[in-house]
Homo-oligomer: A and B are copies of this chain.
Amino acid sequence: MEDQFRTEIGDLGEFGLIDHLTKNNETVQAGTILSVGDDAAVIDQFGRQLVVSSDMLIEGVHFDLMYTPLKHLGYKAVAVNLSDICAMFATPTHITVNIGISNRFSVEALSEFYDGVYAACAKYNVDLVGGDTSTSLKGFIISITAIGEVVPGKFVTRSGAQENDLICVSGDLGGAYLGLQLLEREKKIYMEHQGVQPDLQNQGYLLGKILKPEPRVDIVEWLQDNNITPTAMIDISDGLSSELLHICNKSEVGCILYEAKIPVSEEAKLLGMQFNIPTVTCALSGGEDYELLFTIKQEDYEKVARNSNITVIGYITPIEQGANMLTPSGKIHKLIAQGWNAFG
């Protein structure tokens, strides 16, 4: 694509580039009063409270363009920010996207990235309402701010978990980390033996987990529809242990996590065996699953048990008992944070 049709960014200029990238930008939110094209966007939340979260993704730190298609990158950059809004028990409505790019990127490459951004916006009814494009001296830099709305006072923080609450998680865990190992292995083989085609057959599920994560807007909606309000909630970007410890620390409680209950997919189990990495390690420390981790009152157990996308994996204890994991053989391990850490 880049070789056949390459338009230099300098040919369009900054304003031309923004026009090009936003010319098909359609808004769907009734609250979008003014979108891209002025000094700022204007949004009406119609009496709801505003939820706002912002993240930066840097090439070579957070993603590797050797195995990340630009369209997937655009989709994922939006998805991980929407995931933060979901983790507040709120509904994402708007985003702004700032990017920094070096001149090694063509307009066509950028358009692919924006195709992914727009695909995520379309899927989740989110409007892109602002942002800018800058030159970067090195690599591709993305900074996204996500905005959402919540009925006043109905947001859920990390700090409300109480003794005896049940710990729940959506979907399955560890898949994103294994998907990443697969991509890293194939990259290494490719670097050492140029021309060898990557062997990624039948790995669509795990590759999807790392390359195209989905924010669990569906879980938030299902909980709201079923009148279940979590007592605490967080999304899993760093790994289950690290996130559960955040909830314990902020809520000033302990926990028991049942290792055997942690949901992992069959695909993850198979690949974990190939790589000789226990899937539970991937779930606890792998990160990037973007599932929701939350606590509920015991009285909501029956309702939650009906949803096959939610698994109860433990319960909250008094703070004195600490944060622990019970293994299938009955041993107790102290939970420690070993999630991804860009500074680690």
Contact = CB atoms under 8 A, between A and B. Distances in A.
A47 interface: yes
Contact of A98 (B56, B99, B233): B56
A313 interface: no
Given A13-B343, A343-B135, A96 B39 contact: no
Interface in A41-67: 41-45, 47, 49-62
A10 B343 CA distance: 6
Nearest to A57: B134
A129 interface: yes
A68 to B, nearest CB: 16
A42 B88 contact: yes
A138 interface: yes
A140 to B, nearest CB: 11
Interface residues of A, number: 73
Contact of A50 (B45, B157, B343): B45
A320 interface: no
A145 B131 CA distance: 9
Interface in A80-129: 84-85, 87-88, 90, 94, 96-100, 129
A223 B57 CA distance: 40
Contact of A143 (B41, B139, B143): B143
B39 A88 contact: yes
Interface in A9-49: 9-10, 12-14, 17, 33-34, 37-45, 47, 49
Contact of A42 (B33, B41, B50, B87): B50
CB-based closest 10 A-B pairs: A143-B143, A40-B53, A39-B87, A54-B96, A145-B145, A56-B98, A43-B50, A138-B138, A39-B84, A40-B51
Given A13-B344, A39-B85, 13 more contacts: A10-B343, A14-B342, A38-B157, A41-B51, A45-B45, A47-B47, A54-B132, A55-B98, A56-B132, A100-B141, A136-B141, A138-B139, A143-B143
